[in-house]
Structure 1
Amino acid sequence: MGYHDVIRQEAEKMLEFVETGTTDSATDTMEVPASAYTDPAYCAREKAEIFMKMPLLAALTAEMPHPGDYKAMDLMGKPVLITRKSDGTVAAMLNVCSHRGMILKPEGHGNAKRFSCPYHAWTYANDGKLIGVAEPQKFGPVCKEERGLTQLPVAEAGGVIWVCLTPGLEFDITAHLGGMLDDLNAYDLGSWHFCGSRRIYGPNWKIAYDGYLEGYHFAAAHPTTIHPRSFSNIMHFTAFGPHMRVGYPQVRIKEALGAIPRADWGEHENEGYDFVRTIFPNISIFFAPEITQVAQLIPGDTPGSNTTNLMFIRRQPPRDEADAAGIEAMMDWLRDVVNDEDYAVGLQVQKGLESGAIPSVIFGRNERGNQYFHKYVDYLQRADPNEAPPEL
């Protein structure tokens, strides 16, 4: 069965849910301790066992498509530098000079064949090799081969550059993504245009992530933004390992799909139905007709905080100044929806959980995706090699 045949079946299931007033459901409700959102020790285990070991999205291919392009960022408290080498492949390294530990490049994008430390002018090629020591006769002997930038495991797949923050801990990105890579490849994201980004701050990363995994809150939390487009509390879930494709039928699903031959339903995402794709542990992707939003959730220094980078891409660059202005307005609007509606609620949830008012959070049968997500977080932070992974 081809990719679009699978999507067609999921569209059919969403239409069935609408017609029957039902939704994709777990077998029972599930409770998660409130401490999972507030306990510093639990948070530290998540960082150590999940974020420091798993491949993380560090950049979109569209952010740095040309040889010499680079991106410098803080990722989980680590200064990271991603570069595109002259042969078109990518490198990832810690953005730290091997002389005295100075940060080489400030956060942002650019294009450079080499990087010179702003402290003592040691110089590195864009693959991280040390190529120059300032005034070497006075400094003394240095083995350049041993003093390059600390390399990080890196791979490029599905229009995304993935990095592991633990040096030497290699990964198989194809195996990690599984069927989710088919989704990314179907869109050929590597050829898209990077529009820009926005940054917002919110509650515990799991509170923020919970919002991407259910539409139960659409009517109450998004009455004028999302709910006019999408049914509240009707979802469809498909899992690929820890990753999920979450389907949300639009209120016009019958009308939209009724105008398309059934065999072609799988080729018409956004026409009657939408998906949010979550890539564990911290990525949410929403392909909209106007623009695509990629949300990157980064746990903060305390359990009650996260930094979210919203990155935006679309198939074509702006046609003209008016189109560019429209893109900027759309990015601002999407940021405001997440910040003013989702994160405003999430911060109040965080405050409520930290008060000690309730010992646990309960997820309903309808919140199947949330249940699966929390089972996977628990499973990975326990790091028991004899334990089988959860199933949806």
Structure 2
Amino acid sequence: MSDMDNVKIKTRKSYAESAKAMLDYVENGKTFQTDKIITLPTSIFTDADRWENEMSEIFEKLPLCLATTAELKEIGAYKAADMLGKPVLMVRGKDNIVRAFLNVCAHRGAPIVAEGCGHVRRMSCKYHGWTYDLDGKLIGVADAHTFGDIDKSAKGLTELSCEEKNGLIFVCLTPGQAFNLDDFFKGFLDDFEELGFAGWHFLGSRVLTGANWKIAFDGYMEAYHFAALHPKTVAPRTPSNIAHYQAFGPHLRIGFPQVNISKHLNPVSPEKWGDMEHKGYDFIRILFPNVSVFVANKITQLAQLFPGPTPDQNITILNYFTRQPPPDAESQHALEGMMEFLYKVVRDEDYWIGNHIQTGLESGAHDTIIFGQNERGNQYFHEYVDWYLGLRPDEPTLY
């Protein structure tokens, strides 16, 4: 049996366990619950010192999913963007390995490539024309005979730790800070191997802004709000206040049953329930600290949430994928409609309420917020944030 077969068996068994729990929840009026209600100070969403600590201890130290294989499929494909105030450049080299650098020329600090995506054979600074190869090595100094002698081998681009795995590309924003994806994800990235995500097609992205990054991210981790906030968009498909959680270190696979889960699962042998994602239930996959992946039947949304320039803001990039490129213009048009629908739900419903929450918390109306026994995913997320900030002695457990 191949490694891929083993991954499929393991992940589908885990899916089936979640499906069994979700079916029980729907048929018996239950949901995943813990034994406690927790309260947190509202200052975690407003305090500047807290925000600075989150930046330095979480976002500048942990591996962040900054790109996907689908965006950088070919040799010479690159993506350059401002990531939390740092100019990051990712490029696929001639050896087919994706590397990440600070997009800063060693000469006078100008960018090597403009922000965005594209293809290059080599990279040339637009200020004075210094040239770098796809490995980040300095290979050319303009008018070198007048500039003077320098050691080009010591003036390459500053490299960032980078690893591509199962269709996702992870980068650490601090030079010299290493990471181990297997230790960090504890098997969770097997989901993306089983999905074959590395071979998927990138459709495009949308960008929006919102409240504090944790306020925004909280909305991806529970179903308690579906009936009140999404009565016409989400609730007709997915019942409110029912969710199942599976943890992989700080990461979560969240199961959301569909209203017709009984119709789909009951006629089928339980051994097959792990094969029925989108047929009775869906998953949101949470990659700590800031990525949410919703794999729907026809389109997938990968949301990257980044802290904004101040504690009361976040910048979210909604990326969209399909398993195969659309075969014709009609299919492309239909997918664009799905992208726009998902984007508007996030913008006009989730982020709309998030902005009002930010205003409310900053008003001083209450000193704390509350997460109920039915909101274990949110509790777990905030426990891990505190753990990485050194505010709790023990690493969290889901149960």
Please state if 1:253 is matched with 2:261.
yes
**Distance in 1, Cα, partners of 2:242 & 2:208:** 28
Q: Match for 1:4 among 12, 21, 30?
A: 12
Structure 1 gaps of 5+ residues are none
* Other-structure match for 2:394: 388
Give the conservation status (yes or no) of the 8 Å contact 1:64–1:71: yes
Please state if 1:140 is matched with 2:148.
yes
Residues 194-218 of structure 1, C-alpha deviation per residue, up to 9 Å, x if partnerless? 1111101110000011001100000
Residues 95-145 of structure 1, C-alpha deviation per residue, up to 9 Å, x if partnerless? 011110011222211111111111111111111100000111111111111
Deviation >3 Å, runs of 4+: none
* Other-structure match for 1:89: 97
Residues 246-301 of structure 1, C-alpha deviation per residue, up to 9 Å, x if partnerless? 11111000011124332111011011011101000000000000100000000011
Please state if 1:320 is matched with 2:328.
yes
Alignment of 1:232-311 (within 5 A): 232-311=240-319
Q: Percent identity between the aligned chains?
A: 49
* Other-structure match for 1:348: 356
Give the number of equivalent residue pairs.
Answer: 390
Task: Note the C-alpha offset of 1:179.
Answer: 2.3
Alignment of 1:8-157 (within 5 A): 8-157=16-165
Q: Greater CA deviation, 58-67 or 252-261?
A: 252-261
**Distance in 1, Cα, partners of 2:208 & 2:229:** 18
**Distance in 2, Cα, partners of 1:329 & 1:3:** 31
Task: Note the C-alpha offset of 1:325.
Answer: 1.1
Classify the secondary structure of the residue corresponding to 2:348: helix
Task: Note the C-alpha offset of 1:21.
Answer: 0.6
* Amino acid in structure 1 at the alignment position of 2:379: Q
**Distance in 2, Cα, partners of 1:383 & 1:61:** 35
**Distance in 1, Cα, partners of 2:347 & 2:268:** 36
Please state if 1:219 is matched with 2:227.
yes
**Distance in 2, Cα, partners of 1:261 & 1:107:** 51
Classify the secondary structure of the residue corresponding to 2:207: strand
Give the conservation status (yes or no) of the 8 Å contact 1:116–1:124: yes
Structure 2 gaps of 5+ residues are 1-8
Classify the secondary structure of the residue corresponding to 1:131: strand
**Distance in 1, Cα, partners of 2:341 & 2:269:** 34
Task: Note the C-alpha offset of 1:383.
Answer: 7.0
Give the conservation status (yes or no) of the 8 Å contact 1:180–1:243: yes
**Distance in 2, Cα, partners of 1:2 & 1:295:** 26
Classify the secondary structure of the residue corresponding to 1:229: coil
* Amino acid in structure 2 at the alignment position of 1:156: E
* Other-structure match for 1:367: 375
Give the conservation status (yes or no) of the 8 Å contact 1:68–1:85: yes
**Distance in 2, Cα, partners of 1:260 & 1:83:** 46
TM-score (norm 1): 0.98
**Distance in 2, Cα, partners of 1:8 & 1:215:** 20
**Distance in 1, Cα, partners of 2:332 & 2:127:** 38
Classify the secondary structure of the residue corresponding to 1:59: strand
* Amino acid in structure 2 at the alignment position of 1:6: S
Give the conservation status (yes or no) of the 8 Å contact 1:49–1:383: no
Residues 312-344 of structure 1, C-alpha deviation per residue, up to 9 Å, x if partnerless? 111000110111111111111111000000000
Please state if 1:167 is matched with 2:175.
yes
Q: Match for 2:203 among 195, 206, 224?
A: 195
TM-score (norm 2): 0.96
**Distance in 2, Cα, partners of 1:29 & 1:383:** 19
* Amino acid in structure 2 at the alignment position of 1:161: I
* Amino acid in structure 1 at the alignment position of 2:72: M
